Each structure stands twice: as structure tokens, then as C-alpha cells.
Amino acid sequence: MDDVAQRMRLAARMAHIEPFEVMEIQTLAREVEAAGHDVIHLEIGEPDFRTPAPVVEAAKRALDAQPMFYTSALGLAALREAISRFYAQRYGVAVPASRIAVTAGSSAALLLAFGVLLDPGDEVLLADPGYPCNRHFVRSFGAVPRAVSVGPDSRYQLTPGLAREHWGERTRMAMVATPANPTGTMVTAQDIAGLAQLAREKRGHLLVDEIYHGLTYGLDAPTGAAAGEDVLVVNSFSKYFQMTGWRLGWIVLPPGLVRAVETLAQNLFISPSTPAQHAALACFEPETLAIVEARRAELDARRRFLVPALEGLGFGVPVVPEGAFYVYADVSRVTQDSFAFARRVLTEAHVAITPGKDFGRNEPERHVRIAYTQPVARLEEAVERMARFLGRR
């Protein structure tokens, strides 16, 4: 066995692919639980809600009634049509079904977008802090993630001004997530338009990750699809529709990219999951939308409890999150090392949170991400435990 392990020679690209720190925290949390402690999980990027019942019912009906063969690589025609109608209803934007590809989560959508557009050495502008997998997706194609440090002054987002400043000879793309992980902040319609215009001028591309659309509190998030049909928009059934484990998402493509994405998807995936696609057809029904909207209100109530409670602990929240289900807190008043802090909070206070390290190189030691993916009563308990840990009770 040792001999086999020794003979494994990994591809050079693996030197740039780092583990997902939140997974390591989860492993440690399981050990703490195995030792008999009640851990409050605020580290994971998925809420405690189950998939809405009408979606589960639709899956069961389909499993009984249909053969689960592969679908087209771009997805079921009925689902692409339903997503197209959703853009018309929700945003008032015409996105023909022919520009929509259904994918295995937005993860596969990102992989396909980068796969059809990036050559080795090409650069992609990304906000730091940002969703960690993006830089690894880019690396998987031999391309180079160019992290742009962002802070409270730009609401932790890549602005048209910052993108222009960092756009270089090899830059081929800029990407933003709105609302973003880990900060929950959004990009305005004006900035999306400005970024799209810059990409056009530079003969590059803008990709907008809208996976947290629907989970915004107060204002609705504008879609990149309104900024021109050359903008790539990624979305998912994971978060708003609470289907994380079903692995289903989509991408809105410029017309000229559809065939390339179809070809790559045929080869990489053959098709997205057939049962998941039948289930997702129920997402756009009024009864499902009523359920997910009620859950949006519940997440907002959690957010409104958590942000001031964390500030009361001495954590800084310089920009109040407007969406997703994360608070990116500045813990520099209570620790100089968010990584060690997160581990101690887990092992001593039994609250699992994610250290900033996952989200880039821009002052990770002074930040943690706290996901309000538990009911308010559990959040209250978590805050109480952290207060005791910090000697504030």
C-alpha cells in the first residue's frame, strides 16, 4: 500500500489546488461531536431547510413515471423553457431557452465557462475575499486567477474602476458574485453594466455568479442578463431552492458560446442529472415559490439578529450583508489569528465557524465567515457560547 502511495505522481497543477478549509473544520467538528459535545454548525454554506416538498414530490412522480435516461447535454427542453420564463417574470429580461444550459450545479457551469474561454496563461480577475473554488477552477485550465483585494470601501466587490486598473495584457475575463460569498454584498446594476462595457472594450468577457439570487433582504439583486447577451450568468438550484445535494444549476450564455458549451458538456458530463431536472421543474410553481419566499424572510430574521449580536461581541461588520446567508466579520479586536481562533471556538465553545483563510490572501487572519444557517434560538446559543469564550459573560 505504502509503495502504491509513493508511486502517485500528482499533476503539477495540484500544487495550486488547496483544500477547502471549511471541509477541514467540518471534519474537526465531527470529532468534537464524536467526543459527546453539541456543536452549533455555522460553517457550512447551506441552510438547515429541507428541499421544498413539491420538488421532492415531483422527483418521486418522475421516478415512477419516466425512464431516467440521459437528457440532452444542455438539459431538458421543458426546464430550459421554465428558466427562460423565470427571467421574464422575475427580472423582466428576455432570455431565450436556447441560451440556457442546465448543469451539475453552478460548479459545472463555472467549469464549462472557464473551459470554453480560457487558454493556459490567460488571466481572470476575481475579488479577494471571494469563493475559493473559483481560483481553483481557473487553475484547472492552466489559467491564472488575478485576485484583486477588495474591502469595505467597494463593498467587497470588484468595481469597474478596480477592474480597469487591474486588467492586463493577458486578462481574458472578470468575474463577480452578487450577492457574494463570503461577504453577502451585491453589485449594482450600474456597476454590472460598467464591468460588461469594460469587458467589451477589452474584447474579453464578464461572468456574473448569481447563485444567491432570491436570497436578498430588502432589495432585489439585478441580473447580469440585463446588461447584454454577451454577459455570462451562472445560477443554481442549490441555495434559493434549497437543492444543494441534487447538483443542479444553469448558465446563461452568449449565443456564440452555446455550441462550444454543449460540446464540452457532452464530453465532460454527458448530461445533468435526469431525476434532479424533473424535480426542478416544480421549483417555478407558485406553491414552491411561496415556500422559498417564506424561508427568505426567516433568513432575514436570522441576519437581523446576528449582525448586531456579533458587533456586541466586539466583531466588526463594516458592511451589513444584503444577501446570501453569511456574515464576514472582522475579528481583529479579539484575535490576531482567525485560523487558530476558529479552531479554539470550535473545540472550546463548540461553535463551528470558517476562518478567513478559505477566501483568499487579503487579510484572512483578521476575518471569519459565520453562516446563519441555523434557527435564531441556535444563533442565540452560539453568541452566548462565544461571549463566554471571550470572557464577556
Ligand X SMILES: Cc1ncc(COP(=O)(O)O)c(C=O)c1O
| Chain contacts with ligand X (rule: CB under 6 A) | 45, 105-107, 131, 177, 181, 209, 211, 236, 238, 244, 249
Place of cell 470588484: 158
Nearest-CB residue to ligand X? 105
The CA-based dihedral angle spanning residues 109, 89, 371, 114, taken in that order and rounded to the nearest 10 degrees = 20
Q: To the nearest whole angstrom, how small is the minimum distance from the Cβ of residue 323 to ligand X?
A: 11
Assess contact for 137 and 160: CB atoms under 8 A: no
The CA-based dihedral angle spanning residues 380, 386, 392, 393, taken in that order and rounded to the nearest 10 degrees = 60
Residue 255: how many other CB atoms lie within 10 Å:
11
What is the spatial distance between Cα 11 and Cα 141, in angstroms, rounded to a whole number?
Answer: 12
Q: To the nearest whole angstrom, how small is the minimum distance from the Cβ of residue 148 to ligand X?
A: 16
Assess contact for 163 and 171: CB atoms under 8 A: no
Instruction: Kindly tell me which of 107 and 347 has the beta carbon lying closer to ligand X.
Output: 107
Instruction: Kindly tell me which of 133 and 376 has the beta carbon lying closer to ligand X.
Output: 133
Q: Where are the alpha helices (DSSP H) in the chain?
A: 2-7, 21-34, 53-65, 77-86, 105-117, 132-140, 160-166, 189-201, 258-268, 274-280, 286-312, 338-344, 376-389
Q: To the nearest whole angstrom, how small is the minimum distance from the Cβ of residue 297 to ligand X?
A: 21
Helices (H) and strands (E) in the chain, counts: 13, 12
Instruction: Kindly tell me which of 238 and 271 has the beta carbon lying closer to ligand X.
Output: 238
Q: To the nearest whole angstrom, how small is the minimum distance from the Cβ of residue 265 to ligand X?
A: 15
Q: To the nearest whole angstrom, how small is the minimum distance from the Cβ of residue 244 to ligand X?
A: 6
What is the spatial distance between Cα 209 and Cα 320, in angstroms, rounded to a whole number?
Answer: 20
**Angle at which helices 258-268 and 105-117 pack, to 10 degrees?**
120
Instruction: Kindly tell me which of 137 and 389 has the beta carbon lying closer to ligand X.
Output: 137
The CA-based dihedral angle spanning residues 155, 156, 158, 161, taken in that order and rounded to the nearest 10 degrees = 50
Instruction: Kindly tell me which of 37 and 136 has the beta carbon lying closer to ligand X.
Output: 136
Instruction: Kindly tell me which of 26 and 107 has the beta carbon lying closer to ligand X.
Output: 107
Instruction: Kindly tell me which of 131 and 217 has the beta carbon lying closer to ligand X.
Output: 131
Q: To the nearest whole angstrom, how small is the minimum distance from the Cβ of residue 299 to ligand X?
A: 15
Task: Count CA atoms closer than 13 A to 243's CA, side-chain side.
Answer: 30
Instruction: Kindly tell me which of 54 and 179 has the beta carbon lying closer to ligand X.
Output: 179
Instruction: Kindly tell me which of 118 and 208 has the beta carbon lying closer to ligand X.
Output: 208
> 142 Cβ partners below 8 Å, 6+ apart?
13, 118, 119, 120, 121
* Measured CA distances, 119 to 12, 138, 144 (Å): 17, 10, 10
Q: Where are the alpha helices (DSSP H) in 313-389?
A: 338-344, 376-389
Q: To the nearest whole angstrom, how small is the minimum distance from the Cβ of residue 385 to ligand X?
A: 25
* Measured CA distances, 364 to 91, 129, 203, 239 (Å): 35, 8, 33, 25
Q: To the nearest whole angstrom, how small is the minimum distance from the Cβ of residue 52 to ligand X?
A: 16
Q: To the nearest whole angstrom, how small is the minimum distance from the Cβ of residue 239 to ligand X?
A: 7
* 3-state class (DSSP) for residue 5: helix
